[in-house]
Amino acid sequence: MVVIDPRKSWAALEERLARETDPILHRNLEIVITHSKAEARGDLDALMATLSDSPAYRLGAPDMPGMRPRGHAEIRAYYSDFIASGATQLQYDVDRLAVDRDCVVTDGLMRMAYPGRTLLAMGIEVDDPDAYYLYESRMAIVWPIDEHGRIIGEESYSDRNGFAGIADRKLGSGDIASLDG
């Protein structure tokens, strides 16, 4: 049974995009979809091309190091580290979506497959460094959009620490769908 299907991360946005008649709202949805797909592919250049000239992120709790990157250099380093961690296999199952002229807001269940080696490097004990483990948290993301249709940043809010108990959520070989099928 598939637990993580990356294509679900933009499915709700594409459904809304198909119905959207306002060109600005259409543009805003398209940029978040493009950003999400680039992140899932680990395509750093395509991902960075979706951002405004002065992006700023606020991710997770304020006391978490590295979760407030600002500017292209810091955000590029953040995503480079994220891609290198191997945790790009994720599913953001959006069940609430709001779109206006200045932002997109998504809310849903975030599931990420974290490699055991990455978790060990983070100080989280797991029994198999070669396995993947399920990070799970309900997450809301505010995506402010500039007047040129580029993302100013991501502001994410979670209902819980998705790493709590992660060692007990080992994923099996059929739990992660590929982007291709």
pLDDT given for residue 120 in this prediction: 96
User: Pick from 16, 7, 6, 27: which is nearest to 103 by CA?
Assistant: 27
Q: Would you say 3 and 169 are in contact if contact means Cβ atoms under 8 Å apart?
A: no
Q: How confident is the model at residue 173 (pLDDT cuts 50, 70, 90)?
A: confident
pLDDT given for residue 61 in this prediction: 62
Beta bridge partners of 94: 108
User: Mean pLDDT, to the nearest integer, of 143-160?
Assistant: 95
Q: Quick check: is 178 in a domain?
A: no
Q: Report d(CA 50, CA 32) in Å as an integer.
A: 8
Q: Quick check: is 179 in a domain?
A: no
pLDDT given for residue 92 in this prediction: 96
The per-residue pLDDT for range 3-45, each reduced to its tens digit, is: 999 999 999 999 999 999 999 999 999 999 999 999 999 999 9
Q: Quick check: is 164 in a domain?
A: yes
Mean pLDDT of the chain: 93
Q: Quick check: is 2 in a domain?
A: no
Q: Higher pLDDT residue, 61 or 171?
A: 171
Q: Quick check: is 175 in a domain?
A: no
Q: Quick check: is 90 in a domain?
A: yes
Which range of residues forms the domain containing residue 84?
8-168
pLDDT reading at 90 higher than 70: yes
pLDDT given for residue 68 in this prediction: 86
Q: What percent of the chain has pLDDT over 70?
A: 96
Q: Quick check: is 79 in a domain?
A: yes
Q: Would you say 167 and 124 are in contact if contact means Cβ atoms under 8 Å apart?
A: yes
Domain count, the chain: 1
Q: Report d(CA 108, CA 123) in Å as an integer.
A: 27
Q: What is the CATH number of the domain that holds 68?
A: 3.10.450.50
The per-residue pLDDT for range 30-83, each reduced to its tens digit, is: 999 999 999 999 999 999 999 999 999 998 766 666 678 999 999 999 999 999
Q: Quick check: is 14 in a domain?
A: yes
